[in-house]
Structure 1
């Protein structure tokens, strides 16, 4: 029986479910290896009858072996498998489908949309969370193994530079950080660091969820330990901590966060707390931007401040449909 070879939106959607393994073992496939690709509507309907729902929402974004065998329809958006792939590029899911690796799917994402969407997608692929696979399923999963990394995407794009989208992917990586633990951490990082032309403030990239050696004070003892900071500017000794709604609802979490803050401040870090309310309130957030810039020794041009069209669009994209947990 034929099978689907998912790419683009469908691949990303599958990666947001537990059907895509973390970690995964990629394999290299060429046009001769996917000549069983389901591209016709009848083939896809047969797969649906045999296997039931195929975990992703139609129309399916799929590969065909070559341009001649593409058969786009209401059920499928068909792409020709790029020639000359030199990196392992597929993961076998089951008898019904295989899926492009995150790095290949990302190159196809970068063929459309704008820089901010490219960065947001890469931050999710390189982070430890997964959004709901579609608009009906908005539950985000946390504490996952990262699907990829900034370096893996860069290496893949360079090795497969003939794939359309590789250039835009490499450009977007300038604004991507590994290790984001939530959509709101991603939003905070992007709002601070994207260039003003894309709605950000052009601040330097931080480290996300970085290890920080500290001396913990336990009673009368001083013990070497490790704490983690959400957004860390190590050279400037600045840490930005995102406090979700859960922080305010869980007293135990609040106590642990206060202990962590004290340990970090003893090591001469300045800890700045940011809540959902402070991010969503535009004037308060610009105050945060200016404080961060001050700690980093960055001089902000007054002309880039305020409610530009690009900034409002970015905030709507990042915050309009995100539950601030």
Structure 2
């Protein structure tokens, strides 16, 4: 359904491969493969298993471990391997902030390419999403790995099915707890399949809809209106969709880029959502300071995403 430039595959490998420091040629080859992802020079980390042997290159960070996570390495080709995303999600707990970690979880469990690859790709859809259960399983297995506690906390706020960075931005604003500036919505799902009831099937040519973000108990659907939603044909489709959903008792709250980019507009959206969900918002000024910091964080790459969308 989706395409990707690199089709990684899991592959069993011998621990002997990991017991030797990489040669200069292997390091240079790895850098070439990573250069297509970013203009910034890649920082390479190398794990040697069960040995104290270390390389001498200053541009490589060497680590030693007694455990070989052989089933969680992905073969890229030319004898180069990368850490599987579920293992990387745990390790990211060592350096990512809480907001970054949650955002990263949405990227792993979504169907889009994250920054900076998003801005470089003509096709911003990746081939497959990682299931949230895979991340949870990795966390339950590697209970003593550094970063696992933060990974477990971040995963609590991650949902599957985001289709764009801006959908993720919207979700992070909704799910992050109030003490960090979010709205703290827990019972929210993404990419939810809603069949059209028989009595309303003459109102649309579709047999079902997929909802961006849905709070089932409140029958409230959030839709992020990106640039494609401003096309005349898409506007007509959206109106038809909203009308049918309204007849089925589902309210639609559409979020635009302007509402995310302008603090006063976003605050009014939050007030509307809180009223729909019967949430009581904190009234102290500190909450709105945190809310604005969170809003600025999730839209920090907006200009790049808008140009590439």
Deviation per residue, 1:115-155 (Å, 9 max, x gap): 101001110000000124469x5548434343412211011
Contact 2:176/2:182 (8 A) holds in 1: yes
Whole-angstrom CA distance in 1 between matches of 2:223 and 2:250: 12
TM-score by length of structure 2 reads 0.84
Report what 1:3 is aligned to: none
Report what 1:127 is aligned to: 110
Distance 1:19 1:96, change over 3 A: farther
Pairwise CA distance, 1:55: 2.8
Report what 1:34 is aligned to: 18
Which shows bigger deviation, 24-33 or 167-176? 24-33
Pairwise CA distance, 1:318: 1.5
Provide the secondary structure at the position in 1 that maps to 2:194. strand
Deviation per residue, 1:196-245 (Å, 9 max, x gap): 343323232521121112237465x8988211111111111101111112
Whole-angstrom CA distance in 1 between matches of 2:106 and 2:204: 37
Whole-angstrom CA distance in 2 between matches of 1:260 and 1:222: 8
For residues 234-253 of structure 1, the aligned pairs below 5 Å read 234-248=216-230, 250-253=231-234
Q: Tell me which of 76, 79, 94 is aligned to 2:63.
A: 79
1:55 aligns with 2:38: no
Pairwise CA distance, 1:253: 1.6
Whole-angstrom CA distance in 1 between matches of 2:251 and 2:155: 28
1:91 aligns with 2:74: yes
Report what 1:230 is aligned to: 212
Pairwise CA distance, 1:300: 2.0
Whole-angstrom CA distance in 1 between matches of 2:98 and 2:12: 29
Pairwise CA distance, 1:59: 2.3
Contact 1:116/1:198 (8 A) holds in 2: no
Q: Superposition RMSD on alpha carbons, in Å?
A: 2.9
1:283 aligns with 2:264: yes
Pairwise CA distance, 1:312: 3.5
1:100 aligns with 2:89: no
Whole-angstrom CA distance in 1 between matches of 2:48 and 2:160: 32
Distance 1:145 1:234, change over 3 A: farther
Report what 1:273 is aligned to: 254
For residues 160-171 of structure 1, the aligned pairs below 5 Å read 160-171=142-153
How many residues matched?
297
| Structure with greater helix percent | 2
Q: Any gaps of 5 or more consecutive residues in structure 2? A: 36-40
1:181 aligns with 2:159: no
Report what 2:140 is aligned to: 158
Report what 2:38 is aligned to: none
Whole-angstrom CA distance in 1 between matches of 2:66 and 2:108: 22
Distance 1:79 1:305, change over 3 A: same
